Amino acid sequence: MAFAGNQYGDITARIGSYAVGKFLAHAQNELFLESYAMHEKVPQNKSQTVKFKRAIPLDVSAVALTEGVTKSPKMYEDEPVQVSLSQYGEWMGITDVVLDTHEDPVLNKMTEVLGQAAGAMKELILWNSISAGTNVIFANGIARADVNTPITLDDIRAAVRQIKLNRGKKITKRVPASSDVATEPVNASFIYFGNVAQERDFREMDSFVSVEKYGSFAPISEYEIGKVEECRVVLTNHAVPAYSAGSATTNGMLATSGAVDVYLGVVFGQDAFGCTSLKGKDSANITVINPKATYEDPMAQRGAISFKFWYAALILNQNWIVRIEAACTDL
């Protein structure tokens, strides 16, 4: 579900295509989570609501068949998970003075900035959804307000164990950035997605293996720093911490206003969460309006560049995603 612009406004298609290319490249740099989500599209002019259908695993028993007796059939069951689309966007104003006198290609730079914003916006929508799950492990204590110790190997092991006990599977495929439909294989593993400030705490784990030592085991992202046993570790700035939400006993951890900052990270398996968009408009509509005379702007002093898109994200199976809330060691 990569971005793809399709509206140019006051500029030509040739210049618009170039601007869109800049937009897409910078938007894609901000995206990670979307590649590991289940994707569903809503047809235009139908509904703003989409239902994912989650198959319920069969209960099985090791009972031998009886000769001549037909076993009663199992019934297929699924559980619908529903989410509603919302519209998102951003815009920047531009003046005739900048266009007429600025030496640098301002439109290109503004397009790049908006591309970054669009990618970050999608990533934040996904993060806000998956970090609000019901399955949580605290690094210490029984609530967020108790937290004042960093993430440990035991926390990762506990999260992976919970997913496995609930029949969650390792991730073996992802949606590549250049495609809306096809998937590509990845080495089987679970993924931890957290904040860049946690890098030191991971590197000090005995079982941590950095990406530099992978050999033929290719990284899945530029944000991947390494792996801990069965879990690959991806750290970005999009995993926003809960500042000043932990213990008042700072214990050498990063803190704000006298209380520990709590860093949220999630361990997830295959098909744990999903995202959806309006078919045909899953990507950003990019519009450029040059300064031109109107009643409100009679001297043609103001223009704009903007994007907007329809999007939604949700957890599909709470048992296949585990949030870990931990502190972060102060360097």
Residue with tokens 């214990």: 251
User: What pLDDT shows up at residue 297?
Assistant: 84
Sequence-distant (6+) residues with CB within 8 A of 245 are 144, 145, 147, 259, 260, 261, 262
User: Residue 106 in contact with residue 100, Cβ under 8 Å?
Assistant: no
Which amino acid belongs to residue 317? N
25 pLDDT above the threshold of 60: no
Report which secondary-structure segment, H or E, holds 13: helix 13-28
Give CA 79 to chain center in angstroms.
Answer: 24
Confidence band for 3, pLDDT divided at 50, 70 and 90 = very low
User: What pLDDT shows up at residue 28?
Assistant: 56
Does 321 share its domain with 176?
A: yes
134: in domain? no
Report which secondary-structure segment, H or E, holds 51: strand 49-55
User: Residue 18 in contact with residue 105, Cβ under 8 Å?
Assistant: no
The arithmetic mean of pLDDT across residues 231-240, rounded, is 95
Distance CA 138, CA 254 (A): 16
Distance CA 121, CA 104 (A): 27
Does 265 share its domain with 158?
A: yes
Number of independent structural domains in the chain: 2
Burial 83-119 (b: 16+ CB within 10 A, else e): bebeebbeeeebebeeeeeeeeeebeebbbbbbbbbb
User: What pLDDT shows up at residue 177?
Assistant: 60
Distance CA 265, CA 239 (A): 7
User: Residue 163 in contact with residue 269, Cβ under 8 Å?
Assistant: yes
Distance CA 52, CA 82 (A): 6
User: What pLDDT shows up at residue 193?
Assistant: 98
Distance CA 211, CA 189 (A): 14
User: What pLDDT shows up at residue 231?
Assistant: 97
User: What pLDDT shows up at residue 18?
Assistant: 46
Residue with tokens 């959804």: 129
Does 147 share its domain with 266?
A: yes
Does 116 share its domain with 184?
A: no
Tokens of 247: 């213990």
pLDDT in tens, 300-327: 888 888 888 888 999 999 999 999 999 9
What CATH number is given to the structural domain containing 17?
Answer: 3.30.2400
209: in domain? yes
Does 246 share its domain with 193?
A: yes
More confident residue, 109 or 158: 158
The Cα-based distances of 155 to 128, 150, 204, 262, 329 in angstroms read 21, 10, 14, 15, 16
15 pLDDT above the threshold of 50: no
2: in domain? no
Does 256 share its domain with 266?
A: yes
Confidence band for 179, pLDDT divided at 50, 70 and 90 = very low
Domain that holds residue 199: 143-272+317-326
186: in domain? yes
Burial classification of residue 142, based on how many CB atoms lie within 10 Å of its CB (0-12 exposed, 13-18 middle, 19 or more buried):
exposed
Does 182 share its domain with 322?
A: yes
66: in domain? no
Does 17 share its domain with 119?
A: yes
Task: Give the 3-state secondary structure of residue 16.
Answer: helix
Burial classification of residue 157, based on how many CB atoms lie within 10 Å of its CB (0-12 exposed, 13-18 middle, 19 or more buried):
middle
Distance CA 61, CA 110 (A): 61
Confidence band for 184, pLDDT divided at 50, 70 and 90 = confident
Q: What is the pTM of this model?
A: 0.81
Distance CA 233, CA 223 (A): 8
User: Residue 269 in contact with residue 37, Cβ under 8 Å?
Assistant: no
Which residue from 257, 287, 284, 272 is spatially nearest to 318, judged by alpha carbons? Answer: 272
Confidence band for 286, pLDDT divided at 50, 70 and 90 = confident
Does 211 share its domain with 295?
A: no
